[in-house]
Chain A
Amino acid sequence: MIGDVRRLVAKVAERFKGKFYGRTFRCPVCHLELALVDADGNRLMVCPLCGVVLDVEEVYGHAVPVVLEVELHRPQPKMRVHPMATHVPIGLYPFAVLGVGLLLLASLLAPLLPGIQPLLAKAPTVSGATLVLLILSVGLSVVTLGSGLWDWNRRYRRRPYRQIRIKIVFSIAFLVLGAVAIGLHASGAAFSTTTGLVDLASPLAVVLAAAEMAVLTAGMVVIATLGHIGGTLVFGR
């Protein structure tokens, strides 16, 4: 079962990579997967992870990278703000998703299990904490994005790496999704500001709560992908 899920995730990831990266090859030194299209007109590219200068040519369909040089003395990330900042959203956001999930579950179970009523008294607190977590994680991801762009400018010299492009696009997507989720949650239209739960008698509230959960799940996928790509850029394969 777990093996099947892993295989499915791997297949989805492969398709995603194929779509966004096109033809790839591995850096022969650090094994990072690189997109062939990132090589410049002279077929040259610098591996973002290990800094080797590669001349990559396709021969009979085989990618044959040749190491020509090593880029030494690469600027380090400025005060390592980006690596630290990445951990704030990725650390807080899953708890916000968990909070919304719990509130949804409690809303659905409340009519079926009268015994949980005492626990429901804490729902407004959970809802409030969820909102704080959402605001912190999404708000601080602005710092993550900004510091990431700074590093791209300095350390990677604005080279057009597929990984970094995806990171930028996904970071913006995360901000948008996060803003929508915050808006929905703070409005009280999905989760009541007084009870912290979804009013199951109101179809609009149910739809909005489901939409909030969907947006948060999408955000989770986006942030997990961001973390994975970022991780490979730092630690390699």
Chain B
Amino acid sequence: MMDFSLSSQQQEQVERARTFTKEWIAPKAVEYDRTGEFPLEICREAFKQGLMNPHVPAEYGGTPHTVLDHCLVLEELATGCSGIATAIDANGLSQYPVILAGTDDQKRRFLAPMTETLQFSAYAVTEPEAGSDVSRVKTTATRVGNDYLLNGIKWWITNGSVASWYFVLARAEEKSTAFIVPADTPGIIRGPKEINLGQHASNTVRVSFEDVKVSAENRLGEEGEGFQIAMKTFDHTRPGVASGANGITKAALNIALSYAKRRRTFDKKLISNQGISFKLAEMATRLDAAKYLTYRAAWLFDRGEDNAREAAEAKWFAADVAMQAAIECAQVLGGYGFTTEMPAEKLIRDAKIYQIYEGATEIQKMIIVGKLMRMKEVY
């Protein structure tokens, strides 16, 4: 039996997230995009309304959430502004390795406080010379007694300036090892905010580690398990990233549709031109396809099944659909799509990152092919 409907609880969550988006995110999206300020006020409200940290298990103060629930909520938030949605949701990327491989003590020390007060955490894996190729990470973790000394540079760390702890991937005797590092540890230097193409509200910085002492109690899993932990995290988070991209597509479709229904050209409504209306039909269809790929990847994860291929499919497809939709939205708006006074150009800038972060589109395709190679037949 296949059921595409949402449960009443999910429907309620979506409605709540939509209201929050319309009241708090979308009206301030332009302002935060212009100033590049971190949207602390919005995060504070999101925390108050229970829209942050959906990943944290109930026994550590979280609320029971499935990945699918999270995707539905994130899609709504990103429809308002994907940069602000990233600021609200980025905790998940660093929390999940702790959920996956952390001890009870680590979960109590690092996850539970995040459900009590507004706090941020960051996933510090990417390095200047190691982006998609995570195995090239060069940060070292040298064992000194019961501690490790971390040295290295992490790059493009989302929420890096505001995080109270970092998930860090380093090399301990050439073995990829994961750590939880409190942000107030001496030796951590946070760089200035990067001025990126889009998602200006999202805080992205360089974080340097200079002889940062980390207790072995803060090591996640065993030495050598870091890469697996970091990669396994993506099976959980990639449907969420795809949802963010779907939010952009939804915003692009809504803006283009609203504009095309009201703007007049050649004595008729813009939407009456087939060239324009077909664009809208294509955007809507692609959005549906991307959404269902995303929901399926999330649903498989929630069932405890391997979703690596489906998550990769959802992530690359949704990202490409968002990029295309944003460009088409600008095209529908004509010259107004090119001005900074209309929301279309921001969507283009914001969409691009979805084709790059949490594994570039090409990496997703490699994952898919890797899975296909192990199959005799594809059903």
Contacts and interface: CB of A to CB of B under 8 A. Distances in A.
Interface of A: 23, 26-28, 31, 55, 57-68
B66 interface: no
B339 A28 contact: yes
A57 B27 contact: no
Contacts of B264: 68
A23 B264 CA distance: 26
Interface stretch (B56-64, B237-245, B247-255): B247-255
A14 to B, nearest CB: 8
Contacts of A57: 258, 262
Contacts of A64: 255, 258-259, 342-343
A28 to B, nearest CB: 4
A66 B341 contact: no
Contacts of B80: 60-62
A61 B26 CA distance: 5
Nearest to A24: B27
Given A28-B342, A60-B250, A68 B262 contact: yes
Contacts of B21: 60-61
B348 to A, nearest CB: 15
A61 B342 contact: no
B22 interface: yes
Given A27-B341, A60-B250, A67-B336, 18 more contacts: A23-B27, A28-B336, A57-B262, A59-B258, A60-B22, A60-B254, A60-B255, A61-B23, A61-B26, A61-B27, A61-B29, A62-B26, A62-B80, A62-B251, A63-B27, A64-B255, A66-B262, A67-B263
Contacts of B22: 58, 60-61
Interface residues of B, number: 24
Contact of A62 (B29, B262, B339): B29
Nearest to A68: B264
11 contacts: A27-B341, A58-B22, A59-B254, A59-B255, A60-B80, A60-B254, A60-B255, A61-B29, A64-B259, A64-B342, A68-B262
A62 B259 contact: no
A225 to B, nearest CB: 20
Given A55-B262, A61-B25, A66-B262, A28 B255 contact: no
B79 interface: yes
Contacts of B26: 60-62
Interface in B1-43: 21-23, 25-27, 29
Contacts of A66: 258-259, 262-263
Contacts of A61: 21-23, 25-27, 29, 80
Ranked nearest first, the 6 interchain pairs of A and B with the lowest CB-CB distance are A61-B26, A61-B22, A59-B258, A28-B341, A66-B262, A26-B341
Contacts of B254: 59-60, 62
A23 to B, nearest CB: 5
A60 B251 contact: yes
B266 to A, nearest CB: 14
B73 to A, nearest CB: 15
A192 to B, nearest CB: 50
A62 B255 contact: yes
A21 to B, nearest CB: 12
